[in-house]
């Protein structure tokens, strides 16, 4: 069975990245459903399905297997193109997972025109991610000079995307589509793609410094079986299918219940958001990974603390966000994998308990944390609603475990959102 009218199929390597991508597609007029993992239930008639995976930091073989399974399902539904969504800061390691997954998705694509080459660009200028001469910038600084160089799981110490991706690939070659070509329009980009393919290049890193560049790249690559990108490229895709921005595409049921935030991200942006929330007098409780490692049931303690404080007007915050010095101390004692697993498990229990206690609007900060929380809640599909900040929409989940009430959910990448994001998100009705 196919999904009628499916125009695009997307595979995202984490849950916040999936909603980031879906948000841009919805804003440009597409009806989008986000699924948690490869769907096992019918999908309503929509323009695009985004399959959210928890594969960014998974073992390479696992990430490849899950991503290929998702792409096969999407193609079976009639998707003419697969969009592999990666982080706008190209989060990965020398082993992957961007390169190995992209190579596997290309190899699995049906043979024919457009299956031997994929465009690659994490650019999202609206969120300060631009690519020039193949180098990724975060705001005004190179990726390697940004706070991402200290990321505990995927430290990004090289801004040269050609080097980063080439190190992850077996045999396949990486080339560059420079901005001077992109600025000449879609025909020039197509000519450059043909040139790279003739040279045996399989992946082309594309420069993009503004939205016009992304629309040019989308138009030039609509014939390709695979694109590898952050969410920015999505802004140019709906118009290629005759779609225009529509309020209906982002309509959700009215919110209900109380409000809460669960934050596991240790990014600089989220740290500032936590500090702003507390400076405004917000009720907040910290989760200490070292106490978790010592066997304390901090999830139960957090829920006992939160329940009497829940309110529809004033959200509560349970967080494991830490300053760099404190984070380094935790990692030195526990290691990144153990610390991450402990925090994710605890915050997932907190999220599930908060929803059971009547929370109807839940904001989760951090990609790994979002994945753990959504899975703990048993959510399998999300409808994408209005944008809060670039890359972060409100979503709606209806699931049996929610007793028919539904849940408004925002999954925020650690690096996204303004300083007052936690406060403003709940002011939006």
pLDDT-derived band of residue 401, with 50, 70 and 90 as boundaries? low
| Greater model confidence, 225 or 398 | 225
User: What is the pLDDT, as a whole number, of residue 404?
Assistant: 65
139 and 83 housed in the same domain: yes
Kindly report the average pLDDT of the chain as a whole number.
92
79 and 182 housed in the same domain: yes
How far, in Å, CA of 206 to CA of 122, rounded?
9
109 and 45 housed in the same domain: yes
| Cα 8–Cα 11–Cα 17 angle in degrees, nearest 5 | 110
For residue 114, pLDDT beyond 80: no
Instruction: Please write the tens of the pLDDT for every residue from 374-392.
Output: 999 999 899 888 899 988 9
Domain boundary among 185, 212, 246: 246
CB 384 within 8 A of CB 29: no
User: What is the pLDDT, as a whole number, of residue 131?
Assistant: 98
Positive or negative torsion for Cα 402, 393, 49, 82:
negative
Which CATH number is 257's domain given?
Answer: 3.40.980.20
| Greater model confidence, 336 or 103 | 103
230 and 259 housed in the same domain: no
User: 389 — phi, psi (to 5°)?
Assistant: -140, 165
The whole-model pTM stands at: 0.84
User: What is the pLDDT, as a whole number, of residue 270?
Assistant: 94
pLDDT-derived band of residue 150, with 50, 70 and 90 as boundaries? confident
Collect all residues with Cβ–Cβ distance below 8 Å to 185 and sequence separation of at least 6. Answer: 216
How far, in Å, CA of 232 to CA of 215, rounded?
9
202 and 339 housed in the same domain: no
Instruction: Please write the tens of the pLDDT for every residue from 22-56.
Output: 999 999 999 999 999 999 887 888 999 999 998 99
Collect all residues with Cβ–Cβ distance below 8 Å to 205 and sequence separation of at least 6. Answer: 120, 121, 131, 134, 161, 162, 165, 174, 175, 176, 177
- With respect to residue 2, please indicate whether it lies within any of the assigned structural domains: no
Structure tokens, 307:
């329940």
225 and 273 housed in the same domain: no
124 and 203 housed in the same domain: yes
| Owning domain of residue 359 | 252-427
Which CATH number is 158's domain given?
Answer: 3.40.50.10840
CB 125 within 8 A of CB 210: yes
For residue 325, pLDDT beyond 80: no
228 and 310 housed in the same domain: no
pLDDT-derived band of residue 328, with 50, 70 and 90 as boundaries? confident
- With respect to residue 98, please indicate whether it lies within any of the assigned structural domains: yes
239 and 356 housed in the same domain: no
How far, in Å, CA of 68 to CA of 72, rounded?
6
Domain boundary among 231, 246, 261: 246
CB 268 within 8 A of CB 151: no
145 and 98 housed in the same domain: yes
- With respect to residue 1, please indicate whether it lies within any of the assigned structural domains: no
- For the chain, the domain total comes to 2
80 and 221 housed in the same domain: yes
Domain boundary among 246, 261, 291: 246
pLDDT-derived band of residue 153, with 50, 70 and 90 as boundaries? confident
176 and 283 housed in the same domain: no
């Amino acid at each position: 069975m196919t999904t009628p009218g499916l125009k695009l199929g997307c595979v995202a390597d984490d849950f916040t990245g999936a909603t980031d991508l879906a948000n841009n597609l919805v804003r440009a007029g597409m009806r989008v459903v986000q699924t948690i993992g490869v769907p096992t239930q019918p999908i309503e008639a929509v323009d695009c399905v985004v399959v959210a995976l928890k594969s960014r930091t998974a073992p390479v073989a696992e990430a490849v297997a899950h991503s290929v399974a998702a792409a096969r399902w999407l193609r079976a539904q009639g998707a003419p193109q697969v969009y592999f969504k990666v982080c706008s800061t190209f989060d990965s390691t020398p082993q992957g997972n961007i390169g190995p997954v992209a190579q596997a998705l290309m190899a699995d694509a049906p043979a024919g025109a457009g299956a031997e080459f994929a465009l690659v660009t994490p650019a999202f200028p609206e969120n300060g991610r631009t690519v020039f001469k193949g180098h990724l910038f975060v705001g005004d600084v190179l990726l390697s000079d940004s706070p991402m160089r200290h990321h505990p799981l995927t430290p990004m110490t090289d801004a040269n995307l050609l080097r980063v991706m080439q190190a992850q690939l077996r045999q396949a070659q990486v080339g560059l589509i420079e901005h001077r070509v992109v600025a000449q329009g879609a025909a020039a980009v197509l000519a450059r793609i043909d040139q790279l393919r003739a040279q045996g290049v399989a992946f082309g890193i594309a420069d993009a410094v503004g939205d016009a560049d992304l629309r040019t790249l989308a138009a030039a690559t609509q014939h390709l079986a695979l694109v590898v990108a952050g969410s920015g490229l999505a802004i140019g895709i709906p118009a290629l299918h005759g779609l225009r921005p529509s309020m209906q595409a982002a309509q959700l049921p009215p919110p209900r219940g109380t409000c809460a935030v669960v934050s596991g991200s240790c990014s600089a942006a989220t740290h500032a958001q936590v500090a702003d929330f507390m400076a405004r007098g917000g009720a907040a409780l910290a989760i200490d990974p070292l106490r978790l490692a010592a066997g304390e049931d901090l999830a139960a303690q957090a829920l006992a603390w939160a329940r009497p404080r829940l309110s529809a007007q004033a959200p509560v915050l349970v967080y494991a966000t830490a300053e760099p010095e404190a984070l380094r101390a935790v990692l030195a004692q526990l290691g990144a994998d153990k610390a991450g697993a402990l925090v994710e498990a605890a915050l997932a229990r907190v999220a599930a308990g908060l929803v059971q206690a009547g929370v109807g609007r839940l904001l989760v900060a951090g990609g790994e944390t979002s994945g753990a929380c959504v899975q703990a809640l048993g959510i399998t599909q999300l409808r994408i609603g209005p944008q809060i900040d670039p890359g972060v929409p409100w979503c709606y989940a209806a699931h049996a475990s929610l007793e028919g009430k539904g849940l408004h959910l925002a999954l925020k990448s650690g690096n996204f959102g303004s300083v007052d994001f936690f406060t403003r998100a709940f002011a939006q009705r």
